């Protein structure tokens, strides 16, 4: 079942010897989305071999968390995937809440869904911008995306006091309630978003250059995607209907009516990954509208107790983060610190197939394939 990495054989023509050009793309290459390196071997402009090199941002997050109380590593989870701190918080809270039985109040559950779907909008909209930036678009779509993203970040700031490093979720609820009028402002942003998406789609989805650059580039088959543990929009672009919001129904997702877009064919190229994200944003808006309609006043914190000290047990909590399945695996030994704290980072595992997708493509394609995987190095290197 496992598909091995394809081997590219250098074609020797009539005794003419050609040698490979070895280029080290990164760690300060402008389009590696951080400090990431790809050791690329090129035959002309064709990628013959590609080895990803990680670890430039490694800070041993897991070890740090094992030497801290459970609560104290919550702000550090923000720094994993610094675009989506809310979903990171949720995944950690979900794992910790499995260790001890905590009832989460209704309002907190609703706010969690609202925050995580807003995060999804933030991530997808700016990812599409970065992706088109990698295609060479001088940042215009990216800045349109950031214009809208700012509005959502303002909402995050109003709720939690910080724009990106929100640190908003707690075991059993949320840190604090949202201020007055926040829900109305959110509704305004959510109502305006489809209008922006229309414009965005008009700008990008029919552009002949984007079509010809992305279609048929970086194909990922369904079998390889499943075997390699690819999750999130990338998996759905390869034609697998698997969304943890639907499968696990964590939080209160079973109350909302939403659909999971996935590609029908089994091409799974950059265009599919781009389109699945565009379609997912529309669904997120649907969830947000339902959540904003359904939310009621109430407490936002369950009875977690003063000290978080779970019994000897283990738990694995996973959520559908915008980049894929984000899981936290906690092993508790009965103290206030986790004995083992493991992050299952989606973008790290999605990078498994980078080599498979890039070999035989052009250098320019390698860059956009990396862009379409959607990595954040804070999470990859941890």
Q: Which stretch binds another protein (CB under 8 A): 59-67, 115-123, 183-191, 284-292?
A: 59-67
Total interface residues for another protein by CB under 8 A: 137
Q: Tell me which of 103, 143, 184, 191 binds another protein, using CB under 8 A.
A: 143
Q: Which stretch binds another protein (CB under 8 A): 57-65, 110-118, 183-191, 284-292?
A: 57-65
**SS3 for 381?**
helix
CA atoms within 13 A on the CB side of 234: 34
| Separation CA 61–CA 92 (nearest Å) | 13
Q: Does 226 bind another protein (CB under 8 A)?
A: yes
Q: Are 262 and 132 in contact (CB under 8 A)?
A: no
Q: Tell me which of 6, 103, 136, 188 binds another protein, using CB under 8 A.
A: 136
Q: Tell me which of 35, 183, 203, 292 binds another protein, using CB under 8 A.
A: 203
Q: Are 301 and 168 in contact (CB under 8 A)?
A: no
**CB burial class (10 A; 0-12, 13-18, 19+) of residue 242?**
middle
Q: Tell me which of 104, 276, 295, 376 binds another protein, using CB under 8 A.
A: 276
Tell me how far, at minimum, the Cβ of 124 lies from another protein, in Å: 15
Q: Are 113 and 120 in contact (CB under 8 A)?
A: no
Q: Which stretch binds another protein (CB under 8 A): 111-119, 120-128, 133-141, 287-295?
A: 133-141
What order of strands is seen across the sheet that includes strand 21-25? 21-25, 37-43, 46-53
Q: Decide whether 137 or 252 has the Cβ nearer to another protein.
A: 137
Q: Decide whether 130 or 288 has the Cβ nearer to another protein.
A: 130
Q: Which stretch binds another protein (CB under 8 A): 113-121, 171-179, 183-191, 287-295?
A: 171-179
Tell me how far, at minimum, the Cβ of 1 lies from another protein, in Å: 7
Residue 104's alpha-carbon distances to 43, 71, 109, 111, 287, in angstroms, are 57, 17, 7, 11, 20
Neighbours of 89 (CB within 10 A): 28
Q: Which stretch binds another protein (CB under 8 A): 110-118, 120-128, 183-191, 239-247?
A: 239-247
Tell me how far, at minimum, the Cβ of 295 lies from another protein, in Å: 14
Q: Does 30 bind another protein (CB under 8 A)?
A: yes
**Measured between alpha carbons, how far apart are the two ends of the chain, in Å?**
30
Structural tokens at position 274: 């781009």
Q: Tell me which of 184, 188, 191, 333 binds another protein, using CB under 8 A.
A: 333
Q: Tell me which of 68, 183, 252, 292 binds another protein, using CB under 8 A.
A: 68
Site string for another protein, 284-303 (x = CB under 8 A): ----------------xx--
In 3D space, the residue among 142, 171, 89 whose CA is nearest the CA of residue 371 turns out to be 142
Strand partners, 39: 24, 51
Q: Tell me which of 6, 55, 103, 194 binds another protein, using CB under 8 A.
A: 55
Q: Does 112 bind another protein (CB under 8 A)?
A: no
Please give the residues from 349 up to 378 whose contact with another protein meets the rule CB under 8 A. 349, 351-353, 362-365, 367
Q: Is the peptide bond before 261 cis (omega within 30 degrees of 0)?
A: no
| Separation CA 322–CA 231 (nearest Å) | 10
Q: Does 318 bind another protein (CB under 8 A)?
A: yes
| Separation CA 114–CA 252 (nearest Å) | 11
């Amino acid at each position: 079942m496992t598909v091995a990495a394809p081997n590219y054989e250098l074609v020797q023509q009539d005794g003419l010897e050609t040698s490979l050009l070895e280029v080290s793309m990164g760690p300060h290459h402008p389009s590696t989305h951080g400090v990431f390196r790809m050791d690329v071997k090129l035959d002309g402009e064709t990628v013959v071999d590609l080895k990803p090199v990680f670890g430039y941002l490694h800070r041993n997050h897991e070890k740090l968390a094992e030497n801290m109380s459970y609560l104290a590593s919550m702000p550090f989870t923000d720094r994993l995937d610094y675009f989506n701190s809310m979903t990171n918080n949720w995944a950690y809270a979900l794992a910790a809440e499995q260790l001890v039985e905590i009832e989460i109040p209704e309002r907190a559950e609703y706010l969690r869904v609202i925050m995580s779907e807003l995060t999804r909008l933030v991530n997808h909209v700016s990812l599409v911008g970065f992706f088109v930036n990698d295609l060479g678009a001088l940042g215009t779509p990216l800045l349109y995306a950031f214009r809208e993203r700012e509005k959502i970040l303002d909402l995050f700031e109003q709720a939690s006091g910080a724009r990106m490093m929100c640190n908003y979720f707690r075991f059993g609820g949320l840190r604090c309630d949202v201020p007055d009028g926040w829900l109305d402002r959110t509704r305004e942003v959510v109502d305006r978003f489809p209008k922006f998406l229309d414009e965005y789609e008009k700008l990008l989805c029919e552009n002949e250059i984007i079509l010809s650059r992305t279609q048929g580039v970086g194909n990922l088959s369904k079998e390889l995607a499943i075997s390699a543990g690819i999750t999130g929009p990338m998996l759905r672009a390869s034609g697998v209907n698997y969304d943890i919001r639907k499968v696990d129904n964590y939080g209160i997702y079973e109350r909302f009516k939403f659909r999971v877009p996935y590609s029908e064919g089994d091409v799974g190229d950059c265009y599919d990954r781009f389109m699945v994200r565009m379609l997912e944003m529309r669904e997120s808006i649907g969830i947000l509208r339902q959540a904003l309609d359904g939310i009621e006043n109430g407490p936002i914190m369950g009875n977690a107790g003063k000290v978080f000290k779970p019994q000897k047990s283990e738990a694995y909590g996973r959520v559908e983060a915008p980049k894929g399945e984000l899981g936290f695996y906690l092993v508790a030994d009965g103290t206030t610190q986790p004995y083992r704290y493991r992050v299952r980072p989606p973008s790290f595992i999605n990078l498994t197939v980078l080599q498979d997708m890039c070999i035989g493509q052009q250098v320019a394609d390698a860059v956009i394939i990396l862009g379409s995987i959607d990595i954040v190095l804070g999470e990859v290197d941890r």
